[in-house]
Amino acid sequence: MADEPRVVLIRRVCRRDQLVDGGHAVTFSISRPGRALPAFAVAYDESVHAFVNICPHRGTPLDWQPGEVFDESGLYLICATHGALFEPDSGRCIAGPCQGAHLQRIPVEVVDDHVVLKHDVLGDYADR
């Protein structure tokens, strides 16, 4: 019996050119059973990364203004509540009250000049 064809639904987050290294984030939400989670996508070192917008310290959003999640240097993500700093590529906290903890990563990729989520990838994410 042949395998069923794999259906992968793609959801666009934004155009790739909307994200500038160390600049403004594009915010969006992802669905988990029973609730939506805030999320953001950023560019850093010419790659795109996305995370759930919930600080591992106290569970607040990182933004100090909507979509503003980088510190002044543009090298680290910063939590507006207590100033924890996170690596933009791994989401690991490198300074602050949750040092060593991680933001929850959302796998994204660039397809046809758009940043996209794949629903099957989100399913994997939801199981973690």
Binding footprint of ligand FES, residue count (CB under 6 A): 11
**Does 94 help bind ligand FES (rule: CB under 6 A)?**
no
Work out how close the CB of 26 gets to ligand FES at its nearest, in angstroms, rounded to a whole number.
21
Q: CA-to-CA distance for 25 and 78, rounded, in angstroms?
A: 12
Residue 51's identity, in one-letter code, is F
Q: Are 112 and 16 in contact (CB under 8 A)?
A: no
**Does 99 help bind ligand FES (rule: CB under 6 A)?**
no
Q: Which residue stretch of 28-36, 42-50, 76-84, 103-111 sits at the interface with ligand FES (rule: CB under 6 A)?
A: 76-84
Q: How far apart are the first and last CA of the chain?
A: 31
> Which residue from 58, 94, 120, 124 is in contact with ligand FES, where contact means CB under 6 A?
58
**Does 82 help bind ligand FES (rule: CB under 6 A)?**
yes
